[in-house]
């Protein structure tokens, strides 16, 4: 569905591209993550995945990796901690510094779950060739880094 905004060609092209990007991202994300159990949110899955592949992280590093606010990451980690998937450890030198780590059960949980999500994402993007997936990734990274202001 294209934009109904009546602006310049540059604005209309940008808005139409944005609409397609957001609709595709939402659609692929919804289908790809349908394999997630009901009790785990997409943000919680992201946190577990980051801890599995990156190791223990400070809450602020975890927030930055997941593009979440400090308050939001606190809630995510609270819920993962209640479920027994993660533990928090405060630094003895600086009590403001909190490291989040997977528990043994959390590691087992995400180790079992991650391949299912990876397979689902692979299926979702299977309509694109390897070269198209590379190009899509490159374009998304370029867009995500921002561009000069168009006048």
Q: Which of 49, 56, 70, 60 is nearest to 112 (CA)?
A: 49
Q: What is the mean pLDDT of residues 32-55?
A: 94
pLDDT at 2: 77
Report the C-alpha gap between 47 and 110 in whole angstroms: 10
Report the C-alpha gap between 30 and 23 in whole angstroms: 11
Cβ neighbours, 10 Å, residue 45? 19
Report the C-alpha gap between 72 and 43 in whole angstroms: 10
Cα torsion 104, 108, 110, 115: sign: positive
Rg (CA), the chain: 19
H/E element, 87: strand 86-90
Report the C-alpha gap between 109 and 48 in whole angstroms: 9
Report the C-alpha gap between 116 and 62 in whole angstroms: 23
Q: Which of 63, 64, 91 is nearest to 77 (CA)?
A: 63
Residue with token string 């779950």 = 113
H/E element, 100: strand 98-102
pLDDT at 150: 55
pLDDT at 124: 93
pLDDT band of residue 133 (cuts 50, 70, 90) is very high
Read off the tokens for 128.
Answer: 């694109």
Q: What is the pLDDT of residues 53-112, one digit of tens each?
A: 999 999 999 999 999 998 899 999 999 999 999 999 987 887 778 899 999 999 999 999
Instruction: Just give the CATH number of 38-134.
Output: 1.10.10.10
């Amino acid at each position: 569905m294209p934009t109904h905004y009546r602006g310049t060609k540059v604005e209309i092209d940008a808005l139409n591209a944005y609409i397609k990007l957001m609709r595709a991202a939402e659609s692929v994300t919804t289908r790809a993550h349908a394999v997630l159990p009901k009790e785990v949110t997409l943000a919680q899955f992201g946190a577990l995945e980051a801890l599995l592949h990156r190791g223990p992280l400070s809450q602020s590093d975890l927030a930055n990796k997941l593009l979440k606010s400090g308050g939001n990451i606190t809630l995510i980690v609270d819920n993962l901690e209640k479920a027994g998937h993660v533990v928090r450890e405060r630094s003895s030198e600086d009590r403001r510094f909190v490291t989040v780590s997977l528990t043994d059960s959390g590691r087992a949980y995400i180790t079992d779950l991650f391949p299912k999500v990876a397979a689902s994402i692979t299926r979702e993007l299977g309509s694109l060739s390897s070269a198209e997936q590379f190009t899509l990734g490159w374009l998304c990274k370029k867009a995500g880094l921002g561009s000069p202001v168009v006048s």
